[in-house]
Structure 1
Amino acid sequence: VAGLSYIWLALAAERGKQLRSEIRRRDQAEQEALQLARTDPLTGLFNRRVFGEELQTLIEAGGAERACLTIVLIDLNGFKGVNDTYGHAAGDAVLTTVGQRLRTSFEPGGIIARLGGDEFAVLLPGDLGQGESISPASLERARQALCQPLSWRANRISVGASVGVSCFPADGTKPSELLHAADIAMYEAKRNPGRGVCLFAPWMEQQRLEQRRLEDELRVGISNGELRPYYQPIVRLADQALCGFEVLARWQHPRLGLLTPDRFLRIAERSGQITDMTQALLRQACSDALMMPEHLRLAINISPTQLEEPRLAETLIEIIKVAGVRPSRIEIEITEDAVMDDVATAERVLQTFRASGVSIALDDFGTGYSSLSNLRRLKFDKIKIDQIFVKSLATSVESEKLVDAILGLAFSFDMKITAEGIEDAAAAEMLSRKGCTQGQGWLFGKPACVDHTLSLIDLQPRAAA
């Protein structure tokens, strides 16, 4: 009996040990589940739900005590390019590093969260401007810290950051209102890259509503043929004979009148309408080209976002051929930054254009970050010197040296050259002496509708492009 009692006691002790272990395991699992429910698994920061709850709690407490809160919304710029270029592991490293840098800048005291994707938020007790810890200058320092390069597998990766700020109770009394205000301010910072940190102001809401209205109207306008090509002359500098035109978009808006691209181009890109807009402009430009002499060429711009389209080149080439225009009469203009962001994709697209007879011009050269090896690899037919250098050519030694360097580079790669933004005869003559072959600018003509353009052609001497 004693032996049986011992065995029973031993079994009971073992069972008790197992129960205690199971309880600890369940407690640990519950704590881990609670932690997962409250935090972002990648960065360890609070998640969106918890941030909203903390904001609501502080609003309720602040309402009774008349305390202020500052909400900071942060969105990374260029993060998609990191994922596309280096892979998602690199993207995760960027997000983790951003989380660490936010902790360094705002802890203790700040409630930091990753809201999702590449968007972060910080909740700071106190009003913006109450002391050095919460000020536009301190937020700008924190933003700049986020933008510092990081090392990843022998690569140096950089991203930018746009920051929007709202304050309780001035900009809202509910979490949704405050986050909405900060979001509006953040997108205002994105629209104006020079404004890294943007504080919400009521006029931004009206501007955003107007932008949304324009987005809807643009969709209708493209369908109704309100987007029209305007043509700016490109001439041979030696004798100012006409070589062709750059095709520039204009929107004959039924409510606002004639709009230039600065009013609608970003809206088209952001809303995904840039493809339809480009195709509509190219169709009309090709139709107009049939009324122009065969030797005149048309240059049309491609947005950087369009390079990601799977059949960009094939679609535009088909439009040209269906219109009955020789592809050699069409030139595609694309900026430095657009092609250098993804050189492999750019090379494939540009090769398809070139194989059809369409030529390629590198637009706004000198403002981006082209490398010599990529210039050789992508085989541009023409370089267009950015107008910022042309306009200061006569007054800036630095601009003249840059223009000389660009010309020398173009000569060495056997590329044609067009100088943009020529406004006076002295600049035109100076560029011609240096060997620049073509130019455009208000000296030779402003962008004009097709009727005025056809009249200009009748008056101009002709040159081969």
Structure 2
Amino acid sequence: MTYAAKLSPAATDAGEPLGPIDETTGLLRREAFLGALDRRARQEEKRPFALLAIDLDRFKAVNDSLGHPIGDALLRAVGRRLRSCIRAGDLAGRLGGDEFAILLPDQGREEDAEALAARLVDLLSRPFLLEGHSAVIGASVGIAIFPEDADDADRLMRAADLALYAAKEQGRGLVRRYAPEMRARMEERRRLEADLRAAIGLGQFELHFQPQVSIAGGALTGFEALLRWRHPERGLVPPAAFVPLAEEIGLIVPIGEWVLRTACREATTWPEALHVAVNVAAPQFAQRDLFDVVAAALADSGLPAHRLELEVTETSLLHDTTRAIETCQRLRTLGVRISLDDFGTGYSSLTQLRDFPLDRVKIDRSFIAEIGTRGDSAAIVRAVTALGAALGLRTTAEGVETPEQLAELLAYGCSEAQGYLVSRPVPRDQVQEMIARLAQGQETAA
């Protein structure tokens, strides 16, 4: 049995009480762990040691979808797995929520700390069986070495946290050792976060619109509204550079509401036959008042509901399937259409197409890019298109860039195309010109 497995409120470190134990995980509580870390860093001999900061990658999804009792059971199981990895003399603590840390008093070598971190990532990525539910999470780990990376407890903890953030930012399920340049990246992230929080009030967001056309006849059917951030110093910031941060810090819901209201107002200036497609992020879809937000956007703009299409991702539908189906059904009572975005790239399931009240499936651009070079991608596109037709769903191919791809999609029976072959996204002041140009092109072709 390891030292950590035998910890109790009376456990000691260098003759001093370690402090209370977290009841859920059996690990040291935050104050006890940080106290032990501080004592270790204050020792006169300054012997090197390693600190590991650990964060569970998908704990919130499990906790939200399966409930807090299952979440607590998962934390208990995580505590057991952490205790099974460490040696007598090592200290493991729960810092709060799904954040943990391990102190390796006699391990000042980077390779030893990395070996344990890799073992932790592997062990925490294996499935957990929790009261009849199977949960798969994962973990990211940041490593800092005393006194090489920092010579006091506070700075060492910050260094480990910076390394942990780098691991999560680069894809999760990773191990990263602290490097000085991580601090500069974190400062840049903080500046970006501050700018992002101010962007709505300063009117820095704008929408660009990418046309969607019928493959069979070439007629314009609508536009997808795409968010852009025009920063006074950074220029036009693409969504990939700020949307994940907006989701992380809780701004994606108000930003998403702004996009919805603005897109609906803009669509009222287009011909009545055209729809507008608006992306709904997973946190926004999970909001209890989404129905009211959509209804208000339609009422305020005067846009008929059938001209609004909400694009949701597979991730949005996974966390609470029953509630997600109810949300889609309520939205459709307004007359709004529902589209499943990026189909095939996440946890694709045929039950989603069968059980959810959908109107459209969007085939991800990664498959479209390869339909002329990979037989398996072409087979997937054909199958999704045929399945959509059988279920009464329209299909839209994203990322169409060549006439050859368009010809393949026409042969497969795909409904609509969207991509650079038709047009790049354009600012709102160019939409009317785009509508006229596409209409003229259709007349010419006829």
Q: 2:30 aligns with which of 48, 65, 82?
A: 48
Q: Does residue 404 of the first structure (1) align with residue 382 of the second (2)? A: yes
Match for residue 67 of structure 1 among 47, 61, 77: 47
Match runs of 1:253-272 below 5 Å = 253-272=231-250
Moved more, 220-229 or 103-112: 103-112
Q: Identify the match of residue 174 of structure 2 among 172, 189, 196.
A: 196
Measure the CA separation in 2 of the matches of 1:350 and 1:272: 23
Match of 2:251 in 1: 273
Distance 1:345 1:182 in 2: 38
1:336-375 → structure 2 map (5 Å cutoff): 336-375=314-353
Displacement after TM superposition at 1:30 (Å):
8.9
Of 355-364 and 153-162, deviating more is 153-162
User: Is 1:172 aligned to residue 138 of structure 2?
Assistant: no
What's the CA shift for 1:117? 1.5
TM-score, normalised to structure 2's length?
0.90
Match of 1:13 in 2: none
CA drift of 1:427 comes to: 0.9
Moved more, 244-253 or 369-378: 369-378
> C-alpha offsets along residues 205-264 of structure 1, whole Å, 9 cap, x if unaligned?
222222222222223221222111101111111233211111100011112111111121
SS of residue in 2 equivalent to 1:43: coil
Partners of 1:441 and 1:127 in 2: CA distance:
54
Alignment of 1:18-33 (within 5 A): none
What secondary structure is seen at the aligned counterpart in 1 of 2:184? helix
1:246-305 deviation per Cα after TM superposition (whole angstroms, max 9, x unaligned)? 110001111211111112112221222212212222222222212211111110101101
Corresponding residue number in structure 1 for 2:3: none
2:113 counterpart letter in structure 1: I
Distance 1:126 1:432 in 2: 66
| Alignment partner, residue 134 of structure 1 | 113
**C-alpha displacement of 1:51:** 1.4
Alignment length (residue pairs): 431
Give the Cα–Cα distance (whole angstroms) in 2 for the partners of residues 128 and 436 of structure 1. Answer: 59
Alpha-carbon contact 2:121-2:173 (below 8 Å) kept: no
Structure-2 change in CA distance of 1:427 and 1:373 (3 Å): same
Which residue identity lines up with residue 350 of structure 1 in the other structure? C
* Deviation at residue 128 of structure 1 after TM alignment: 6.2
Question: Which has the larger displacement, 163-172 or 380-389?
Answer: 163-172
- Work out which of the residue numbers 100, 119, 123 in structure 1 matches 2:99: 119
Deviation at 1:320, TM superposition (A): 1.9
Identical-residue share of aligned pairs (%): 37
State which drifts further: 330-339 or 101-110: 101-110
Distance 1:109 1:239, change over 3 A: farther
Say whether residues 1:310 and 2:266 are aligned partners: no
Q: Deviations over 1:167-205 (max 9, x none)?
A: 222322221211112222222222222562122222222
5+ residue gaps in structure 1? Answer: 1-28
Task: Say if 1:167 and 1:259 are closer, same or farther in 2 by CA, change over 3 A.
Answer: same
Aligned with residue 395 of structure 1, among 352, 358, 373: 373
Say which structure is richer in helix: 1
Do the aligned partners of 1:384 and 1:420 also contact (CA within 8 Å) in 2? yes
Structural mapping, 1:146-225, within 5 Å? 146-193=124-171, 196-225=174-203
Provide closer, same or farther for how the CA distance between residues 128 and 233 of structure 1 changes in structure 2, counting only shifts above 3 A: farther
Q: Is 1:59–1:174's contact at 8 Å kept on the other side of the alignment?
A: yes
CA distance 1:288–1:347, shift in 2 (3 Å): same
Q: In the TM superposition, what is the alpha-carbon distance from 1:55 to its structure 2 partner?
A: 1.4
Q: Unpaired runs of 5+ in structure 2?
A: 1-7
1:425 to partner: Cα distance: 1.0
> 2:361 aligned with 1:383, yes or no?
yes
Letter in 2 for 1:51: F
Is 1:329 matched with 2:311? no
Q: Which moved more, 1:210-219 or 1:290-299?
A: 210-219
- Identify which of 49, 52, 73 aligns with 1:93: 73
Cα distance in 2 between the residues matched to 1:192 and 1:357: 40
What is aligned with 1:21?
Answer: none
Distance 1:320 1:71 in 2: 53
* Aligned Cα root-mean-square deviation (Å): 2.3
The structure 1 residue matched to 2:262, chosen from 284, 293, 301, is 284
Confirm or deny that 1:246 pairs with 2:224.
yes
